[in-house]
A and B are shown apart, each in its own frame.
Chain A
């Protein structure tokens, strides 16, 4: 019965399954393969970092020993990494981890008690707050740690400066304005505009960037913006790509493309960014200064006591209007004294001396209006 063998080779195709063959390969070959894969990843990661980043150092008095881990917001991942690196230069006894899993996942993990602090671009919803409070046995509070602007980055041949009011941006990202020489764009951009078709890139994954951008449009486009405000939208036009790298790659490849992205990606790829007008009278470029200026008046604390969770009023008129703050969520009184001490030390460093690295990483320092309050809150942690 030779033919009976056929089904069996299929049911148990061990030696044919390439993944198993990979496992059974001799070690050197496996190492080479894995190495190649690793190299290609490194090469990918290498672009976009290390262009003269500043460093800061923590005071020795800020040092504590132990191990804490955080997770959440991908927006603040780069600055967290830098803080951790710098902090450990002085405070060698500290072990700190931060993983950019996304704000939602960070809040979930914090509530479940698997991490010591969460990074988040948004404040917790009531149900999440309740869960976090239970976990802490005290109040779970939001502490703003960094701020940043979302750049409107574009790649259009022959266009090196661009002015875009909220209404025009809303039309572009909903697919209503289709060509670069559309009268709506021409109205704010004198001179000749190319007839290129617009390719508007948005994030296909859930992202705080999308929430800030849609929040800005919702407040300032005068009812033209129909997609609501959220981390992920049901887009009606344009093109989705995964992650900030994804939209950047798309824009870089496409003449006529535009997207919203953390400003560091525009800098790293030498792509121009537009001046934007919200409720104010002028078109404002994105700089660390204009972001701070906007948040000075736009950001108001809504939390009580040490909870500095707040709201951004996108209708504020000064500065660059697509700006936001990012928080860490921590227990006001930690259950584990050793961990609480390190957490207090680390957050104090991040909100104090650590602010010095913000600008070189594409972030903005915390606005002056809340800077002192934040520092005091960090010191009050226990």
Chain B
């Protein structure tokens, strides 16, 4: 801000200064526009959600049923649980892969290969999510059956992979399927941002580590990862944000049940966004309002995740600055 006004006063005349003012106005407008849209969405969600919330005959936060048009009992519990579970699982799968891709591109790959790989990762992000969903329904879900069977048989003692009803070894629309497809969808964004963060580590740090006799891996561990931590956290949070809100691909591969179950291999599961996509078309007035109320909850969850990410990034940044001084 100070730099721009300094430039303005030392500029070559009124025209230049007016241009500056106009440009400043345009950018200010753009900034305010985003805020206005955000506010408009929040207000819309709130207003449209109120009829449903006030007529809900169940407890909106704990009920595991979704029947707004019939008995008027509906609650967000199962949906919110499924949303968070599938997104967190997606992160667990995607983050190691994405970090691996990023490190490989930055540290190990020859330049040509790194470029090609970088483009390939971005291509993955350009595929529309409905295509991911269709691919999963007609291809991936079939190919995943052996993996599901393997997990159920050999890791069934672990609650997530338990298969009490013996349904894990067949084609199934489940939380597991949703997590895998979400993981594939968030790898590109996490990898792209991580790559950028890692490539900006001060070369002096890396060279110092190598000069001290560190191996590649030790250098990465002591010189690259610690200063990148806030950036990497931000990358992961961006991925989480995308996973939480993904709609159509999840709607295609989720079983759409309303229960809270940890058995991710069993058919079932649901997420807020998928439930909206699945039910909006055939909902009555109250049903639509209820779906919008669920959208409000998703909005709040996503906002919380984003704020958390910002907080982590800023705190990390502050720590680093003080260390650098």
Contacts and interface: CB of A to CB of B under 8 A. Distances in A.
Interface of A: 1-7, 9-11, 13, 16-19, 21-22, 33, 37, 40-41, 44, 74, 101-105, 108, 125, 127-128, 197, 199, 204-208, 228, 230-232, 234-235, 238-242, 245-246, 249-250, 253-256
Contacts of B66: 232, 234
Contacts of B122: 18, 21-22
A18 B125 contact: yes
Contacts of A3: 202, 227, 317, 320-321, 324
B148 interface: no
B231 A240 contact: no
B230 interface: yes
Contacts of B121: 18
Interface string B61-104: 00001110110000000000000000000000000000000000
A232 B282 CA distance: 8
A241 B173 contact: yes
Contacts of B324: 1-3
25 contacts: A2-B324, A7-B230, A9-B196, A9-B197, A11-B313, A16-B192, A18-B122, A18-B192, A37-B131, A102-B282, A108-B288, A197-B166, A199-B170, A204-B255, A205-B279, A205-B282, A206-B280, A206-B283, A239-B172, A240-B254, A240-B257, A240-B267, A241-B255, A246-B252, A249-B137
Contact of A204 (B130, B170, B256, B320): B256
A105 B282 contact: yes
B209 interface: no
B134 interface: yes
A1 B321 CA distance: 7
B285 to A, nearest CB: 7
B279 A239 contact: no
A101 B279 CA distance: 11
Given A3-B317, A22-B122, A204-B256, A232 B279 contact: yes
Interface string B249-282: 0011011111000000001100000000111111
B189 interface: yes
Contact of A205 (B130, B166, B167, B251): B251
Nearest to B123: A33
B1 interface: no
Given A6-B320, A19-B126, A239-B255, A207 B282 contact: yes
A250 B171 contact: yes
Report which residue of A41, A101, A230, A232 has the largest number of chain B beta carbons within 10 angstroms of its beta carbon: A232
A34 to B, nearest CB: 9
B125 A19 contact: yes
Contacts of A74: 281
A37 B256 CA distance: 26
A206 B256 contact: no
A33 B189 CA distance: 18
Nearest to A206: B282
